Amino acid sequence: MNEIDDILRGIRRKDPRAIGRAISIVEEGDQRAGEILQILDEETVQKATIMGITGSPGVGKSTLVDQLIAYYRRQGLRIGIVAIDPSSPISGGAFLGDRIRMMRHTIDRDVLIRSMATRGRLGGLCAAAGAAARIMAGSGCNPVIVETVGIGQAEVDVVSLADITVLVFAPGLGDDIQAMKAGLIEMADILVVNKADCPGADALVMEIESVIQGRNCPVCRTIAPETAGIEELAAVIRDMDQKKRQNGQFAQNRQKARESEVLDWAVEMMRIKLKNQLKSQSRQIKGDPRMIARKLIEEISR
| 118 in contact with ligand GTP (CB under 6 A) | no
Nearer to ligand GTP, 11 or 193 (CB): 193
Among 58, 152, 200, 218, the residue binding ligand GTP under the rule CB under 6 A is 58
CB of 228 to ligand GTP, least distance (A): 8
Among 45, 50, 94, 184, the residue binding ligand GTP under the rule CB under 6 A is 94
The residue length of the chain stands at 302
| 197 in contact with ligand GTP (CB under 6 A) | yes
Footprint on residues 133-172 left by ligand GTP (CB under 6 A) = 149
242 vs 248: CA distance, rounded Å: 10
215 vs 213: CA distance, rounded Å: 6
| 62 in contact with Mg ion (CB under 5 A) | yes
Q: Which range binds ligand GTP by CB under 6 A, 39-47, 51-59, 180-188, 266-274?
A: 51-59
Q: Which does 105 bind (CB under 5 to 8 A by kind): Mg ion, ligand GTP, none?
A: none
| 91 in contact with ligand GTP (CB under 6 A) | yes
| 118 in contact with Mg ion (CB under 5 A) | no
| 54 in contact with Mg ion (CB under 5 A) | no
Can you give the binding site for Mg ion, defined by CB under 5 A? 61-62, 94, 98
